[in-house]
Structure 1
Amino acid sequence: MTDPALDAEALRERAVASLITARDRTTLLTACVEEPDLTAQHSPLMSPLVWDLAHIGNQEEQWLLRAVAGHEAIRPEIDGLYDAFEHPRAERPGLPLLPPQEARRYAAEVRGRALDVLEGAAFHGSRLTEAGFAFGMIAQHEQQHDETMLITHQLRRGPRVLTAPDPEPVPLFTGPSEVLVPGGPFTMGTSHEPWALDNERPAHRREVAPFRIDTTPVTNAAYQAFIEDGGYDEPRWWTADGWAHIRRGSLTAPLFWHRDGGQWLRRRFGVTEAVPPDEPVLHVCWYEADAYARWAGRRLPTEAEWEKAARHDPAGDRSTRYPWGDADPGPEHANLGQRHLRPAPAGSYPAGESPLGVRQLIGDVWEWTASDFLPYPGFRAFPYKEYSEVFFGPGHKVLRGGSFAVDPVACRGTFRNWDLPVRRQIFSGFRTARSEAV
């Protein structure tokens, strides 16, 4: 029988480590530029970096200090400024935001008090504190904003300020191009992962017909073939909304790509470089992913198909936490945590493949699916409707798997991301599927 005290101490250590890892990354992303870059809005799609910084602190104060510990508010007058639903991103530069040094001091003060709360926390008594959920939620929230800030860095014009080693080179992948996923039921979602968010719950059985799915994400070289074949000029590959969108925006290639003579180049974190052919394609919207799949005679996988390919272990008829099993991600499994500033070549991380042989389902690029973002049967919003419920419906498409910019704490086989089908500043790619004749 497990000692509850030992369980609590392990949870406390995990929560502390997750919060510290997130704050170290926030510091890196906000200390590498001067104050004008922190307060500027680098794209109307994104907040100024200084807004994210104080918003991180404000959410931590509201949930860990006020909701969990019952403390009085430190800065109640700023709650509205950092309410993501009260002020659209395009308006945030005009708000009376905390200046950088004050935002840093505020976030640091909140963190110091939150760690004091965590030191004496009891991980039971309410859904919010059970298994340290509130602490895990806040660590995930900060890491999600760290990914958002990394997107802002990619959109920012100017010299490179972030560096990281490239992924290890690997031989060109020569394995099978697709994998058969057998039909039948599997368990989708989770009811037991302690830090899983509301939209991942509850676990439920889902029936999936047999299908084939790409072994790796679609590469830049494969996507270039679509471009060279006139993919952006042929309306039959596009939905009506997609065709209208690319015509309106004069889109001819993924975001940050441009052609120089006969060569495709891209801008990546302040550096212009040749587009690497064997990397998964990045910065494409749902409409582009869907059009490529049609051009290739295939389709995007549904969300249920994606999760079955990622989690189903046919040997035990069970769903694992990750494609490789139940162990937490290690550097041998996936490209996560901003360890690199680019996807790894297609076919990397054989230790991270699923039991069926599908690779890179976790990390590298978020993968668009065919599915709208909808609740699971039995869904209950927790701890607030604005995390998931307000986004449900046909307006948002589901992305799965995480990217190189996602921290392991915010990435699981059940983790669900969503965005508008026009979005491509995000670290998004895709893989394709096809139905298996029966």
Structure 2
Amino acid sequence: MKNKPSLLLDFQRCRKYSVNICEPLAIEDYSLQAEVFTSPTKWHIAHTSWFFETFLIKPNVKNYKSPNEQYSVLFNSYYNAVGPQFPRNRRGLITRPTVTEVLEYRAHVDEHMLELLSNELTAEQEYLIRLGIAHEQQHQELFFTDLKYSLSFNPLFPTYQELPQKLQQQLFSKHTAQPLTWTSFDGGITEIGAANESFNFDNEGPRHKQWLEPFSLANRLVTNGEYMEFIADGGYRRPELWLSDGWALIQKEQWQKPLYWNDVDNVLHHYTLHGNQPINPDAPVCHLSGYEADAFASWCGARLPTEAEWENAAQSESVITEKSPVLTPKPLQENNSATITQLYQECWQWTSSSYSPYPGYQAAQGAVGEYNGKFMANQLVLRGSSCVTSENHARASYRNFFYPPDRWQFTGVRLAKSQ
């Protein structure tokens, strides 16, 4: 197979990186889980191996024997066609297998995957391997988001990764804010969706025509300083700014600021994977729910973009592929007001678009068809990528999706206006 050497290398790099990002953790941190929607690191490490074992090794490697057949239940996420799953809200109770046993399971799976990769692969097998790699890269991102959420409850504000002092000052010290400007787009008939030139998830296609009315898009993301103005103007106390469900949620949960913001000696901080840090007013505001993003846009006299508007604007801009070592959104250093900046690498950007299938979409046959299609209800699309997203997942057609109340992901705001 022509692509097998690169496929083997991609597989090995992905598997190695998953283990490398766990190195700063103590063994007990592998089982941290703060809420039902997050998962322990140990579970992520095991589940990504389960995916390769279930969809590639068991159907294709003769006489394969799993280290423990009960792993098929423990580490199945949501694939009903495969069999039962261990309840998500109890993953933090999985004390066995131990971390050592999980890593042994992972090595066992890798050994048999290398055996499979040494053979001639069918087109279906190649696609499933690429899907498995992309799936694991998504879980690498979830590793950071879930770990940050779990560590944030500790009053000691644990640091996952130390930053050099110079870089820390650059990130968390105030700079001159770049002005927010608007770029206009004529609208009309455009095309969105993946063009199938390389791997993409099934929900990114088919590519299709879309009508857009004329619109404008903000040149950068909303900053912490701008969101502070929203709070100071009573943003969390003004029901006219909020969608009904959002207003009910903030009343119930008593939200008054973004997730991870906290006061230390009367100075506003936010918890990051680099420790608890003073908030830089010029860095992108992050960890907002879809409801908070929408309310802020209303306060500004603007709105959230549709996913078609976002992709239409992004198609003419460069994709930044270099992965930054910084695990928190960075302030904008340079700006060209004629271009759209911060599309990638800082925060996922909420849109007003419901997550639904594109015209002509068909889920894959079999259990793997549950990967995306069955979630196309009651969620909103986010676009771009974040500071913890795998570098090759940043592309104009990528469709992330979360429920409007969710805010433990690295989610921010880009404003739009109708012309």
Q: Do both proteins adopt the same fold according to a TM-score greater than 0.5, normalized to the shorter chain?
A: yes
Q: 1:175 to 1:254 in 2, by over 3 A?
A: closer
Using a 3 Å threshold, how does the CA distance of structure 1 residues 340 and 121 change in structure 2: closer, same or farther?
Answer: farther
**What is the CA-CA distance between 1:175 and the residue it aligns to?**
5.8
TM-superposed deviation, 1:366? 0.6
C-alpha distance in 2, partners of 1:190/1:374?
A: 15
Distance in 1 between residues matched to 2:105 and 2:266, nearest whole Å: 51
1:44 aligns with 2:36: yes
1:317-373 CA distance string (max 9 Å, x none)? xxxxxx317xxx443xxxx4x6211112135587xx9xx611111221111100110
User: 2:352 touches 2:381 (CA, 8 Å); kept in 1?
Assistant: yes
Mark the CA change 1:369 to 1:225 in structure 2 (over 3 Å): closer, same or farther. same
Q: Which piece of structure 1 moves more, 29-38 or 246-255?
A: 29-38
With normalisation by structure 2, the TM-score equals 0.88
1:167/1:344 contact within 8 Å kept: no
- Aligned equivalent of 2:349: 367
Match of 1:238 in 2: 242
**Which among 392, 407, 422 is matched to residue 376 of structure 2?**
392
Which is further off, 373-382 or 34-43?
34-43
Q: Which residue of 2 aligns with 1:217?
A: 221
Partner amino acid for 2:135? Answer: H
Distance 1:89 1:309 in 2: 38
- Provide the rounded CA distance (Å) in 2 between the counterparts of 1:47 and 1:357: 38
Aligned to 2:145: 151
Structure 2 residue identity aligned to 1:401 = G
* Paired residue secondary structure (2:74): coil
Shift of 1:188: 0.6
Any gaps of 5 or more consecutive residues in structure 1? 314-322
Q: Residue by residue, what CA displacement relative to the aligned partner does 1:173-207 show, whole Å, maximum 9, x if unpaired?
A: 64661111221112110241331111001111111
What is the TM-score with the length of structure 1 in the denominator? 0.84
Offset, 1:298: 0.4
Name the amino acid aligned to 1:113.
H
Residue 64 (1) aligns with residue 64 (2): no
Name the counterpart of 2:302. Answer: 298
Distance 1:348 1:242 in 2: 35
**Conserved 8 A contact 1:293-1:300:** yes
Match of 1:83 in 2: 76
Which of residues 312, 322, 329 is equivalent to 1:343? 329
Aligned partners of 2:303 and 2:415 also within 8 Å: yes
Give CA-to-partner distance per residue, 1:38-93, whole Å, 9 cap, x none.
12323332112111111111112122323455663524331111111233421223
Question: Does 1:407 pair with 2:400?
Answer: no
* Aligned mate of 1:380, from 341, 359, 362: 362
Would the alpha carbon gap of residues 71 and 349 (structure 1) be closer, same or farther in structure 2, given more than 3 Å must change?
farther
The CA RMSD measured in Å over matched residues stands at: 2.5
Aligned residue identity for 2:226: A
Distance of aligned partners of 1:396 and 1:15 in 2 relative to their CA distance in 1, 3 Å threshold = same
- Mapped to 2, the partners of 1:299 and 1:196 lie a distance apart of 29
Distance 1:76 1:344 in 2: 45
Give per-residue Cα distances to partners, 1:365-395, cap 9 Å, x unaligned.
Answer: 11110011000011011252321111112x1
Counterpart pick for 2:26 among 34, 38, 46: 34
Q: Among all aligned residue pairs of Structure 1 and Structure 2, give the percentage whose two residues are the same amino acid.
A: 29
- 8 Å contact from structure 1 (residues 190, 202) kept in 2: yes
After the TM superposition, which parts of structure 1 deviate over 6 Å for at least 4 consecutive aligned residues? none
Give aligned pairs, total: 400
Indicate the larger mover: 197-206 or 110-119: 110-119
SS at match of 2:7: helix
Stretches of structure 2 lacking an aligned partner (at least 5 in a row): 79-84
State the 1:135 CA deviation: 2.2
Displacement, 1:37? 1.7
Could you tell me whether the CA contact under 8 Å between 2:274 and 2:327 is conserved in 1?
A: no
1:206 corresponding residue in structure 2 = 210
Inter-partner Cα distance in structure 2 for 1:344 and 1:429: 12
Q: What letter corresponds to residue 183 of structure 1 in structure 2?
A: G
